[in-house]
């Protein structure tokens, strides 16, 4: 899961989308969710068991929500310059 967090943090396009003030919260979330799913899909090759656990419906929803909250806070505290 640390790899997904790092990929999210390093994605400059995602940072710009989330920090753009004229984007609605739902638009920011939509972009984040798409990126999260792409990075999560990357786990299939590395750890199929981890991928299966993270994509269980209740766990998936919880994990994605936590990642989004943490990411949003990090971007708010450390904006792009």
Tens-digit pLDDT profile for residues 22-31: 788 899 999 9
Query: Residue ranges per domain, the chain?
Result: 2-77
Burial of 39 (0-12, 13-18, 19+ CB in 10 A): middle
Which residue is it, tokens 């979330």? 29
Distance CA 18, CA 39 (A): 17
For residue range 26-72, list pLDDT tens digits in order: 999 999 999 999 999 998 888 999 999 999 999 999 999 999 999 98
Question: How far out from the chain centre does Cα 80 lie?
Answer: 17
pLDDT at 80: 60
Reported confidence tier of residue 77, pLDDT bands at 50, 70, 90: confident
Reported confidence tier of residue 21, pLDDT bands at 50, 70, 90: low
């Amino acid at each position: 899961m640390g790899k997904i967090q790092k990929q999210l943090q390093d994605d400059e396009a995602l940072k710009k989308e989330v920090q753009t003030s004229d984007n609605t919260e739902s638009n920011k979330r939509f972009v984040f969710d798409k990126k999260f799913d792409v990075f999560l899909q990357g786990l299939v090759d590395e750890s199929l068991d981890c991928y299966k656990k993270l994509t269980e419906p209740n766990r998936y929803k919880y994990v994605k929500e936590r990642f989004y909250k943490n990411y949003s806070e990090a971007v708010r505290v450390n904006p792009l310059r």
